[in-house]
Amino acid sequence: MVQHRDITIYDIARELGISPATVSRGLKDHPAVKKVTRKKIQDLARQLGYRSNTFASSLRKKRTDTIGVIVPRLSSYFMSNVIAGMEQVATAEGYNLIISQSSESVRKETANITTMFNSRVDGLLVSLSYETENIDHFSPFLNKGIPVIFFDRILEHPACMGIVIDNYKAAYDATKHLLQQGCTRIMHIGGNPISHVYAERLKGYRKALNDHKITPDHKLILTMNMSEQAGIDAAHHILKMKHRPDAVFSANDACAIYCMLTLKKAGIRIPEDMAFIGFNNDPMSKVVEPNLTTVNYPGYAMGEAAAAQLINHLNGLSAMQSTNIIVLRSELIIRASSLKKKPKS
């Protein structure tokens, strides 16, 4: 099998009769090289199939201008918005993103971290998997002082920054709304309480009940993996209950929607028999019937904030601090699924 050698800047220089230094600057679109010469260099580079040796360049600069991103699920509408925000900021600052998903598995998350570390990314932006209960597997990055920023699903660490919404307040407001609709048996479907995001949503739910003189019932708290199937499983659990809830507050929309649809097939009226609130403002929340009340928070802005903070740190403009947790705003969007009481005209 014939192996073709890589084209170098010396080949381009020889072909055009100019110095390798001029070729190098021309490939980088440096203004010191005349525009006509730059075009000749770049056209010939494309024609010959020249590829920049980014690995060698990275070794010289001791940075790769790449940022690793690990998310639980790429299929999530929220996460796609987050990544879009990151991409916008990273591209403007001359960085590339390497994106992977953990598929809610700590084992796959660990494998992704190893791949990112071996790829010499300059830093990591991570939303933790459902199974992650500690961040020991991030030690290759933390031991070398390579910055890690957690967003949405975070675990606090002295060397890491976190970017979240006020999950406690968002859950409190959602539960309070259901209470104001006359609901008294409110089920909460949440994720792993080890995770900061789900722990805070559970706390907000419990606090709202306590403030309304209702003792939280452990039978009305379900811990699930927050998938679509989890919503179906939750519905089957509810249908078997002797004393069913009159409302459900789910920690994400996908779980809420599939729970709601399964209950409707079984003859449960929404919201008359059971009111519903989700979390994330997924587009499906506006399509499902009745439309789902949900908590909206800005995925795009979260992605922008995470990328900007990491790049500022890499450029020496800011430092990582354990107390530096950025909190973004959220809002409760009230729709038909939670309105047991007809709004006054």
What pLDDT was estimated at residue 195? 86
What pLDDT was estimated at residue 54? 56
How many Cα neighbours within 13 Å face the side chain of 332?
21
Share of the chain above pLDDT 90, in %: 74
Question: The domain spanning residue 19 has which CATH number?
Answer: 1.10.260.40
Paired residues of 163 in beta bridges? 151, 326
State how many domains the chain has. Answer: 3
Residue 320 included in any domain: yes
- Do 159 and 302 share a domain, yes or no? yes
Residue 4 included in any domain: no
pLDDT in tens, 242-270: 999 999 999 999 999 999 999 999 999 99
- Do 304 and 287 share a domain, yes or no? no
Structural domain span for residue 265: 167-296+332-338
- Do 31 and 176 share a domain, yes or no? no
Question: The domain spanning residue 101 has which CATH number?
Answer: 3.40.50.2300
- Do 125 and 231 share a domain, yes or no? no
Spatial distance between the Cα atoms of 187 and 34, rounded to a whole number of angstroms: 69
pLDDT in tens, 98-139: 999 999 999 999 999 999 999 899 999 999 999 999 999 999
- Do 126 and 177 share a domain, yes or no? no
- Do 256 and 318 share a domain, yes or no? no
Residue 200 included in any domain: yes
Residue 345 included in any domain: no
What pLDDT was estimated at residue 2? 44
Residue 58 included in any domain: no
Mean pLDDT of 168-178: 98
- Do 29 and 72 share a domain, yes or no? no
Record the pTM: 0.79
- Do 160 and 252 share a domain, yes or no? no
What pLDDT was estimated at residue 241? 96
- Do 246 and 323 share a domain, yes or no? no
